[in-house]
Amino acid sequence: MPKIRLTYWWDGHAPGDEVEVDSDTARSLIGRVAVAVEEETRKPTRRPPAPSAE
């Protein structure tokens, strides 16, 4: 079952909650009031700037 993170209230769950839903429900919510948890983990993380060579 896909896991989503809510960005808005849905079905009694608060924004920020991670919820396991069936595939059809995930398809209908992602991009509207949720993001896929797997997509968030694939986003590149910001690296700190390299120290200067001076």
Q: Read off the pLDDT of residues 19-42 as tens digits, 9 standing for 90 and up.
A: 999 999 999 999 999 999 976 555
**Taken in order 8, 14, 16, 21, is the CA torsion positive or negative?**
negative
> Between residues 41 and 10, which one has the greater pLDDT?
10
What pLDDT does 48 receive? 74
DSSP code at position 8: S
* Higher per-residue pLDDT: 13 or 38: 13
Tell me which residue has tokens 């919820």. Answer: 19
Distance between CA atoms of residues 4 and 33, nearest Å: 10
Q: Which pLDDT score, from 0 to 100, does residue 2 have?
A: 92
CB 19 within 8 A of CB 13: yes
